[in-house]
A and B are shown apart, each in its own frame.
Chain A
Amino acid sequence: MTTITRTTTRVNSNTLAIAFTALLGLGIMIFAGHVQASTLHDAAHDVRHASGFPCH
């Protein structure tokens, strides 16, 4: 019973870590590449064009 509980906890925390990492990555990519706020847009302008992100 104890073993089962531990295994479940480990799998859940791994899944959580993976999901958090993916969302963090997506968030950074959206912030750096896609948010249209003008200061951000101007700072990231050249990278956005060169990365093929929709820009302007």
Chain B
Amino acid sequence: MFTRILTSALFAGFAAGLIAAVLQLVFVQPVLLHAELYETGAKLHFGTEGSVSHGPALTFDAMRDGLSILFSALVYTGYGLMLIAAMALADERGVKITTRKGILWGLAGFITVHFAPAISLPPEVPGSAAADVATRQVWWFSTIAVTGLSMALIAFGQNWKAWGAAIVLLLLPHVIGAPHPDTFTGTTPPELGSLFASRALGVGLAAWVLLGLFAAYFWQHEGNA
């Protein structure tokens, strides 16, 4: 059991993490590097020549991007372990995990750790103002905890008591509200901020669908071995 859990989680998480890293380096990194020019003051929003919309060319920085690949693989391995733990728990209770259904598991994971927190605390482009990091972390972890629980209630609940609780839990963090800064002192243009947030969510969606797919595939495959 434990070997099956660990093997599936590590394979699925590592593979999804590597794909996430490539997508991130191609689609998110150029926006991030461009925003950093505004964060550091190298470019100036509303400056005479500072807001030219084309950013730096796509380059590969071996050290910086190598670390990104490593940490992306780590983060998704962490996600993979948690996802496989949830799958194993469901399997114990007679839920059949098929590769196709893995896509739904992945979507639920994406909603839990990317989409739900982003509704009130969008992915932060460098050079944007933000509230105290510890407060944001408390809100972020609370949000993913209640959203994850509500995903389980929606998927496995049998009646409106469960689904009703899920709806309340889904709304709760956003009714309470995420911590935001007292003043908006961000230096990065909103055009880059919104592009950054939607690109980050797009990469998260792709990576999580693949993570769900891989996790379910390896879980089944290791179970038959």
Contact = CB atoms under 8 A, between A and B. Distances in A.
Contacts of A43: 67, 70-71
Interface in B105-144: 113-114, 117-118, 121-126, 130, 133, 136-137, 139-140
Contacts of A30: 78
Secondary structure class of chain A's binding surface, majority of residues: helix
Contacts of A28: 74-75, 77-78, 81
B75 A49 contact: no
Contacts of A19: 85
Contact of B71 (A25, A44, A52): A44
A13 interface: yes
Question: Which of the four size classes fits the interface of chain A?
Answer: 35 or more
Contacts, number: 131
A32 B5 contact: no
B75 A54 contact: no
Interface string B80-102: 11111110110010000000000
B209 interface: no
A4 interface: no
A26 B130 contact: no
B75 A29 contact: yes
A25 B136 contact: no
B81 A54 contact: no
A32 B124 contact: no
A1 interface: no
Nearest to B144: A29
A17 B2 contact: yes
Contact of A49 (B9, B123, B201): B123
B137 A34 contact: yes
Interface string B54-75: 0000000000110110111011
Given A22-B82, A52-B123, A14 B88 contact: yes
A54 B124 contact: yes
B200 interface: yes
Nearest to A40: B71
Given A21-B81, A25-B80, A50-B203, 7 more contacts: A14-B1, A22-B86, A29-B78, A46-B28, A51-B200, A52-B114, A52-B123
The 7 lowest CB-CB distance pairs between A and B, nearest first, are A25-B81, A29-B78, A28-B78, A54-B136, A25-B82, A22-B85, A52-B123
